Amino acid sequence: MPRDNDMEETLFEAPPEGEQERMAEAILFASAEPVTVAELNARMPHGADAKSALERLRKRYQGRGVEVVRVGEAWAIRTAPDLGFLMRKEIVETRRLSRAAIETLAIIAYHQPVTRAEIEEIRGVSVSRGTIDQLIELDWVRLGRRKMTPGRPVTFVVTEEFLDHFGLESARDLPGLKELRAAGLLENRPPPEAPGEEDDEGDQSDMFEETTDERE
């Protein structure tokens, strides 16, 4: 007759590794948003190791039409980058980000966490509230921790939605500054004659157009 301890261990025995992979795969496939390891562990049976299951899935999907990718602190199933053109139909909105918004977004991405004053120091011009509000409305930028400096100014950081939109695992995967300058970003321009936001209504760039994806 089995002992009580043996029965308890059997009841809480972790599922086989292959089954754990299937569970993690099913959750990622059904989720519209990236899923964190903590969320997976909460939904999978007791004793399951979601992190290990994800790493095995990632290797299993390498070179396939879809991949298991990390998006910030979360995970998702995404179309392989080289095949994205087959699944995506882009609808370009009439409104594009201004050069001021693009430069502000790039500065936040490369220098996060960064305050408004630091953004203005790097750009050499003031940043209007509307520029940052637009980036927050796009869900590409969010408020970060306050800096432990006089006045405790709020900081800004990019979001997981920003990383997911551009197919990045983390901000470390952003292109180099030379590539940004070659694309027309972060130009070394003289400060404007009058104070205020520069190029909000002027030069427009399509590098960060607002787009929606229709997947077949």
Domain count, the chain: 2
Query: At which residue do the structure tokens 């520029």 appear?
Result: 131
CB 51 within 8 A of CB 24: no
CA angle centred on 117, ends 133 and 206, rounded to 5° = 45
Q: Cα Rg for the chain, rounded, in angstroms?
A: 22
> What are 17-29's pLDDT values in tens digits?
889 999 999 999 9
Segments forming the whole domain that contains residue 42:
4-79
CA separation for the pair 95, 211 (Å, rounded) = 10
CA separation for the pair 26, 35 (Å, rounded) = 12
Question: Is pLDDT at 99 greater than 50 in this prediction?
Answer: yes
**End-to-end distance of the chain based on CA atoms, in angstroms?**
57
Same structural domain for residues 100 and 204? yes
**pTM for the whole structure:** 0.48
CA separation for the pair 192, 203 (Å, rounded) = 14
Same structural domain for residues 134 and 49? no
CA angle centred on 133, ends 189 and 186, rounded to 5° = 20
CA separation for the pair 159, 143 (Å, rounded) = 9
Q: Is residue 86 part of a domain?
A: no
Domain final residue, candidates 79, 102, 120: 79
Q: What is the CATH number for 172?
A: 1.10.10.10
Query: At which residue do the structure tokens 């960064």 appear?
Result: 114
55 — alpha (psi -120 to 50), left (phi > 0) or beta?
alpha
CA separation for the pair 167, 89 (Å, rounded) = 16
Of 30-44, 92-106, 121-135, the range with the lowest mean pLDDT is: 92-106
> What are 119-156's pLDDT values in tens digits?
999 888 888 888 888 899 888 999 988 888 888 899 99
User: Which residues 6+ apart lie within 8 Å of 136 measured at CB?
Assistant: 142, 143
Q: Is residue 126 part of a domain?
A: yes
- The first and second tokens of residue 8, run together, are 């308890």
Same structural domain for residues 31 and 130? no
Same structural domain for residues 127 and 208? yes
